[in-house]
Structure 1
Amino acid sequence: MKNFLGFIALLASSSLFACGFYPYGEELRFSFFNPDLMGYHSYSEFYYSANTFSPQGVYRDFDKRPNDLLWVKYCKNKVSYQAVQEVLGGMSVGDINPRSKNEMLHYLYQTKDYEVINYLKFAKNCEFFNSWMEDPWERNEVQSSPVRRKLLKNAILLSKQTKNETLKFRYTFLAIRMAFYSQDVVKIRTLFDTVFKAKPSKDILFYWSLYFRALAEEDKALGNFYASQVFVNAPEKRFAISQYYNRDVPIEQVVAFAKTDDERANVYLFAGILKHDKSLEYFKKVYEYRPKFDGLSFMLLREMNKVEDWIFTPYYTLFEPSIETNSYWDEEVSVFQTVQKRVEGDRNYAGELLRFINTIDLNSVENPMLWKTCKAYLLFITKDYNGSISLLNELEKVKQSELVTNQLEIIEALALTANQEYGKAILINEVKPIILRNKNYQKFLFALGRELEYKGNTTDAVLLYSTLGKGYENYYEDHNYYNSVYWKTVTNSPDNYSDFYNEYFDYINVMYTPGQMEALIDNIYKNRDKEDEFSVFKYSVLKTQLPLLYDLLGTKYIRQNKLTKAMQSFKKVDAKLWNEKYSNWEHENNGWNFGDNVFDENPFYVVKYTPEFIPVKDAFRINKYTVTRQLIKYINKAENPKEKNKDYYYFLVGNCYYNMTHFGNAWMMRRYYWTSGGNPTTIEDEREYYECLSAKTYYLLALKNAKTDKFKALCLRMIGRCENNRLIHADNDRFEGSYDQFQNYIMGNNKYYRELKEKYPDYYGELTSNCDAFGKYFSARR
């Protein structure tokens, strides 16, 4: 029997989502280092991502493909690259004729290179049977056919007959591809080993053929070796070959097949890129064998994105990293302590990466600027803020693209913000223009806010959080950062499904103290009329929501039972908010106002789910201010030594406190959303909200001052109702058994119902079985 008050539905809060939603993966991942800006698009299928690897076009429209360039070279550079593209990509067999206006075909006919013309026609005839477009994954799904076998035989024959070395290899490649789709692995091995293996120049045609040779290899270590060479040298085959890499083979067995340092580097690169965990040791090996290598630079970039995820995702959001195979949460330790311990371990790894970079000559690598940028970033990650800022300032002086410069400024803004003493952190002037240039980059703004919050500046933190959601477009056009932010708090409840936030109000509703709220409101009042661009952005949301903030401040004081302060706060809320948020106007016009967020009954005289039984004497327009004012008035009357109707006023106060719980008609005095089954939170008055402790206290005082047995019996009945709620909330997770057994357990342990039955047996049955009788018992108060 588990959790009768557990989550039933997520309702009416902007941080609560449709049933079943929970953020994960790329939605959570923090990354301020955009790989698309660094010039390694040919490796883009292997960018670090919670979505792992995915096939996509590795060549952009302006990239020149190696096979097309081979044809330009064959034509002695007398034809354009675009002409070659047109022949290879857009023409049919019938288009290849002497009348064509294509520059490449014109050249071939003019030079009477009929062998190549015939080859192009033959290749076009083969496309239907073994084309990239037909089977982009190049899986063994196409069954062998007589036509393909005939084409395969002809390709081998033509390869042997031609004296043109270029065509010899091209016909053989076509034969290898058709052998693959015919599932003839023996033929693949034979053709490659007899024709391509001794090829003096290893061009793209060689590596395309090696791709199929790798798939046909029975020795797993040798297959991995071939795959590694294909991965490095044939970008369009990278994703496909990665699907065949055998991760169980020890890398020492694979590298044993390498004859050159480049081949050794290729082995370690491929294996390292396929790792989702730490790859520093492979990274060092690649540098040892091939330092001036774009693959090494990409490997560094990928490792940086890993480190970001491992450190920033948990540090800023308290979620696990987007890729986490083994949960590291420890139920015996607070979430924040667990995150700090994990993050420190990963910062140490970032330090190892930084120390390695410091040992090498950055002029020896393929992209020194990238390496220096990574070094500056690692200095920030390892909390050497001064070192990071100093190096970033140097790098910003180097002429680069606007996006790369902005990349450096984002890191600098984070470093400048983090590099402040606790209690003295502010949004410094150097950071403000960077924020304005990136005002739609939600994860960046949130990270800045989190740094400020961790440094004690909760005011500027929430001002930044309030801007989240204003710009939902992805920050970079070509790189999807899943721009929305979701985060947890250090006081998360493990029983709460909706234990995360994605906008400011729900977060401060739970986390901010009244003192922090007052500081925030005071700051807004002082600065809301400033006209500089940054202030306009910073206060754009909250300066329009001061009534709501006063509502929240008063609500927080209600939770602490500081009624005078609550009333003072509620008094500053304008009538417009009371009417729009807590009146029948919203109830009637907002089609999904779950929980009926409406003061529809007087909480002193009407108890929810109970027929009216108390005549209303003090009618007033109901809102949070008037309810609090009336509550103070009735408490003062009840506590006045000269008051003759103490029992009456204590009972009304008890009703109000009961109605301000989950079970009453004024629950909105303490909460901003309501769910039918209860949704556990970490709000400070959680027990009060579900266990009716204050209501019980005042009903007990009503009982103490009661004069008649019937009214005493009614008081015990209400006290017993509060006690039932307390027992359910306190014991539902610990009780094992059926629902009926649990109900019997609750009734059996409710001492006030036992007292009611023992002292007033004649009234017990009527009071516990029929609420309609309450009026009769209340009228018998005197």
Structure 2
Amino acid sequence: MKSKIFTLALLISLFITQGNLKACGYWEFEWEYRPMTFQAQLPWMQSMNPFVYTTASLFYNMNPDPMGNDRTRNITEWQKATSKDISLDDIYEIQYNTDPTAFISSFENSGLKEYKGNSLIKYLTADKKHKDILDYLVFAKKAESTEYDFTDANFEEWKDEPNKAPNKSIAQKYELLAEAKAKLNTVKSAFLKERYAFQAVRLSWQLEEYQEASEIFDTYFKTINPNSLMSVWAGLFKAMSLDRLERKADANLYYIQVFDSSDEKKLRAVQLYNYNIPTPSTFTDKEKSIEVVLRSIQNPGRTLDSIQNIHNLDKNSQYLTFMVMREINKLEDWLISSIYLKSEENPFSRAYQYRYSWNDDEETAEIKKQNLETDLEYLKRLKVFVITLRNETKQQDEKDYYAIALAHLSLLEENGAEAKEYLASISSKADPSILLQKSIENIWLSIKTDDVTTGSFKKNYVSEINKLKSQLRAVPNRHKESMYSSKNEDVASYDNYNRIIYTLDLALSNELKKKGDIVSYCLLKNISNKDRSYDGDAFWNTQGYSSDYYGVMRQLDYNASVSDMDKLIALLQKTNKSEFEQYICDQPFNPIDAYRDLKGTIAFRNRDLQTAYESFADMKQDFWDTTYYFKDYLNEDPFIPKNLYSQESRDFTYKFNKTSFVKTLLDLEKTAKGSDPKKSADAYLKLGHAFFNTTYWGNSWMMVSYSWSGSDAYYGNIKMLDPWRSAYMTASIAQEYYEKAYEKAQNNEQKASATLMLSRTHWHNIVLNGSEKDKALAAKYSKEYYDNYLNTRFAKQNECLGYEAFIN
């Protein structure tokens, strides 16, 4: 599993907005971007969608019965009780889409003339012999109207309790309960008797008459009959009544039966089940196995032992395939999320995290290694069990399901040859979801086993991805096939579609990075960010900065070299792009000068001033006045150290030009290496000031970084940072120049400036990491400045700095 790193504080980063720094940006929770490609589901498994694996919430979603199976059962029973000539759509419209108040008003005032075009209403009003059924429909709508919050609620399950309902509604409920009891003594048809009984049980429960609700259920239903929808729905209220009567074990039995018999009530049964009481010995093996399912589907950890227990109790349990899928999704998360999403993490955040973790780098690496070994061992155990399930089952759809599961597990353990064998064993007539998953596995297999750098692979990848997208669009989610499914269909379809493509792009980007193709890696990472966004506009809606300018370049900023930027610029300017190049370039880009700016910035970080100058010089020279936030944060003289003078005397009208700035640095380097010691010392001082100001502590930090956060000072584990970030935080380059200035100094003015700035940079590092070396050097230079240079012109000019307080 993921490395156990315990952070003492939640880091809230401050990112750039115009004029000042504010906390901003969009944060995604792990279940929204976690890589996941294994989503094969046999038809019945859609009813288990709320229990799909997630680590960040108790349930994956709150959308029970996405296929609308219970609704379909209900309207089918209505058609059977009335006439096969009545449209199921018309029954559905009255049952689920008709406001109860409007319906009752129409019944009382016009005899339902407003609904005369509905075949159900036409049937019920055409002949007086249908009056009993019409009376029940009106009764049901009256019961519906008493609910506190009717807003397209499920017909047979309202959410309020008596103490939330208006007094008028409570009185109406008592009247309706009395009417239901009376009707139970007169109606003859089983259809109506079951429905009035259900209404009586539900109303009794809502009125807190729990004993009565239980007794009415026993009288008219006796037990839950899976073939009678009303007995199942009433069984939920029976269970809740027993719960209130403190008969928890009895209630649990009914919750189990409701869970097993109703798709719409599965989620509620799981929510209400009493998990804190022991399993009664009176439970059958099947009931015990279902109880294990209820306990396991909320566990984000390893549950193979529980799944094996389900199998031991009920070898024909339909829940085994779903439980296998959950374990595969967990292993996907544990084994590939940290790899595919590694570059999503801000390097500064890693330094912060490690500073406040209970372990250091070596310990963390060892823990990750142990976790990987443990997870792979667990994967092997799961494979052995799935092989057993595949060998035992007599059903071809389950054989195919376990074969695709084994292929996926094989790929997770990098066993391509075995994956191919399992994929080849899948029937050509397998369930469409399995065949779709097979296409996904074949693409992933190709990524893992073929040479991803070749033109043939890249061309084939684009072709196969386009075919996969067509397949996904054709059958995005099985519940789209049902006319009577619940809400949120589009979101669920998006999740299936985009997460698969997103994960495959991540897989390929990871392989390309191993081969050194950083440009394709970064662009595919951006493509994957787009795919994981519902509106396809997520380059800046990730764990990064809130600006679209920086959002599209973030991956390049984290990963690219100067030569990589050259390759990217050439690619963007290329007119005859290959199919793969078109694929990875199908995303927003900044103007070409933005990438020249990043190239120059990378070169500057690497102290390659000549390359930086050439890159900046190749740009439009008003770029920094018109783009991003450069003019807001590059607006002071970079050769006057920040805070050397008072805050009031700072001048924010300086016209900063990166080309001119770097050209000046190149000239200063030449002067510093010249034969005149005094000019050399002055040049080193100016270089020191310039490189100090381009650090976190200076006034021109945006020369090096595209963002600044007040929390950066807490990123104390410098060894976790790469060289340029380390220099950015420690001002080590500035220290180097100040030391040379100190050595070359020809007078006390030069020495005063060098010693004060050396003291200052070392004090900053004490704040940063508490280094004993920095403490000693800061004290040394502070003492020298205080003892020897207070009478210099430099010291007198800088009295407003309050250096004594700073030094002490």
Q: TM-score range by the shorter chain?
A: 0.7 to 0.9
Matched residue SS, 2:405 = helix
**Cα distance per residue 1:596-622 (max 9 Å; x no partner):** 235x54x45x4445579xxxxxxx997
**Cα distance per residue 1:708-764 (max 9 Å; x no partner):** 4xxx244323332232232222345559xxxxxxxxx98995322321332345338
Change (3 A) 1:726 1:398: farther
Instruction: Output the CA distance in 2 between the equivalents of 1:370 and 1:329.
Output: 42
Instruction: Output the CA distance in 1 between the equivalents of 2:588 and 2:140.
Output: 66
Contact kept? 1:717, 1:753, Cα under 8 Å: no
Paired residues, number:
710
Aligned to 2:733: 694
1:728 is the counterpart of 2:764:
yes
The residue identity in structure 2 corresponding to 1:416 is: S
Aligned to 1:58: 65
Out of 124, 148, 171, the residue aligned to residue 173 of structure 2 is 148
1:42 is the counterpart of 2:50:
no
Task: Give how far 1:412 is off.
Answer: 3.0
1:68 is the counterpart of 2:96:
no
Contact kept? 2:522, 2:555, Cα under 8 Å: no
1:207 is the counterpart of 2:232:
yes
1:311 is the counterpart of 2:371:
no
Out of 534, 545, 566, the residue aligned to residue 521 of structure 1 is 566
Q: Structure 1 residues 268-277 or 125-134, which shifts more?
A: 125-134
Instruction: Output the CA distance in 1 between the equivalents of 2:342 and 2:289.
Output: 37
**Cα distance per residue 1:608-650 (max 9 Å; x no partner):** 45579xxxxxxx9975455444434433333334777433333
Report 1:340-351 matches (<5 A).
Answer: 340-351=369-380
Report 1:267-666 matches (<5 A).
Answer: 267-288=291-312, 294-318=318-342, 331-333=359-361, 338-360=367-389, 361=391, 362-364=393-395, 367-392=398-423, 395=426, 407-419=437-449, 428-435=458-465, 441-454=501-514, 457-469=517-529, 473-474=533-534, 486=542, 505-512=553-560, 514=561, 517-518=562-563, 521-522=566-567, 525=570, 528-539=574-585, 548-549=594-595, 551-561=597-607, 563=608, 566-580=609-623, 582=624, 584-586=625-627, 596-597=633-634, 601=637, 603=638, 606-609=640-643, 623-641=657-675, 645-666=679-700
Aligned to 1:246: 274
Contact kept? 2:759, 2:777, Cα under 8 Å: no
The two structures have a TM-score, normalised by structure 2, of: 0.74
Instruction: Output the CA distance in 1 between the equivalents of 2:695 and 2:195.
Output: 80
Contact kept? 1:510, 1:683, Cα under 8 Å: no
Task: Give how far 1:46 is off.
Answer: 3.0
Instruction: Output the CA distance in 2 between the equivalents of 1:634 and 1:32.
Output: 56
Contact kept? 2:58, 2:298, Cα under 8 Å: no
Matched residue SS, 2:180 = helix
Out of 736, 746, 754, the residue aligned to residue 718 of structure 1 is 754
Matched residue SS, 1:536 = helix
Aligned to 2:788: 759
The two structures have a TM-score, normalised by structure 1, of: 0.76
Gaps of 5+ in 1: 322-326, 489-496, 613-619, 736-744, 774-782
The residue identity in structure 1 corresponding to 2:781 is: Y
Task: Give how far 1:669 is off.
Answer: 4.0
Aligned to 1:324: none
Instruction: Output the CA distance in 2 between the equivalents of 1:436 and 1:164.
Output: 55
Larger Rg: 1
Task: Give how far 1:179 is off.
Answer: 0.5
Change (3 A) 1:694 1:123: closer
Out of 137, 142, 147, the residue aligned to residue 159 of structure 2 is 137
Contact kept? 1:547, 1:577, Cα under 8 Å: yes
Matched residue SS, 2:633 = coil
Task: Give how far 1:304 is off.
Answer: 3.2
Task: Give how far 1:229 is off.
Answer: 1.0
Give aligned-pair identity as a percent: 20
Aligned to 2:493: none
The residue identity in structure 1 corresponding to 2:414 is: K
**Cα distance per residue 1:638-678 (max 9 Å; x no partner):** 33347774333333333333333334454344333345675
**Cα distance per residue 1:218-254 (max 9 Å; x no partner):** 332221221011012122222222221112223x43x
Task: Give how far 1:204 is off.
Answer: 0.8
Contact kept? 1:207, 1:234, Cα under 8 Å: yes
Contact kept? 2:296, 2:303, Cα under 8 Å: yes
Q: Structure 1 residues 66-75 or 384-393, which shifts more?
A: 384-393
Instruction: Output the CA distance in 2 between the equivalents of 1:292 and 1:345.
Output: 30
Q: Structure 1 residues 105-114 or 146-155, which shifts more?
A: 105-114
**Cα distance per residue 1:458-497 (max 9 Å; x no partner):** 3432242344555675399xxxx99988579xxxxxxxx9
Contact kept? 2:447, 2:507, Cα under 8 Å: no
Select the structure that is richer in helix. 2
Aligned to 1:128: 145
Instruction: Output the CA distance in 2 between the equivalents of 1:347 and 1:282.
Output: 19
Change (3 A) 1:17 1:222: farther
Matched residue SS, 1:65 = helix
Instruction: Output the CA distance in 2 between the equivalents of 1:320 and 1:579.
Output: 32
Change (3 A) 1:759 1:192: same
CA RMSD of aligned residues (A): 4.8
Contact kept? 2:742, 2:755, Cα under 8 Å: no
**Cα distance per residue 1:555-590 (max 9 Å; x no partner):** 4444344x4xx413541445435431x3x344xxx5
Contact kept? 1:10, 1:17, Cα under 8 Å: yes
Instruction: Output the CA distance in 2 between the equivalents of 1:484 and 1:762.
Output: 53
Instruction: Output the CA distance in 2 between the equivalents of 1:647 and 1:372.
Output: 74
Instruction: Output the CA distance in 1 between the equivalents of 2:399 and 2:663.
Output: 69
Matched residue SS, 1:11 = strand
Contact kept? 2:226, 2:232, Cα under 8 Å: no
Matched residue SS, 1:431 = helix
Aligned to 2:481: none
Task: Give how far 1:400 is off.
Answer: 6.7
Aligned to 2:220: 195
Instruction: Output the CA distance in 2 between the equivalents of 1:219 and 1:772.
Output: 75
Change (3 A) 1:545 1:726: farther
Task: Give how far 1:534 is off.
Answer: 1.8
The residue identity in structure 2 corresponding to 1:413 is: I
Instruction: Output the CA distance in 2 between the equivalents of 1:7 and 1:125.
Output: 52
The residue identity in structure 1 corresponding to 2:512 is: L
Contact kept? 1:188, 1:213, Cα under 8 Å: yes
**Cα distance per residue 1:88-111 (max 9 Å; x no partner):** 454545487899676556666659
Out of 205, 215, 231, the residue aligned to residue 259 of structure 2 is 231
Q: Structure 1 residues 274-283 or 503-512, which shifts more?
A: 503-512
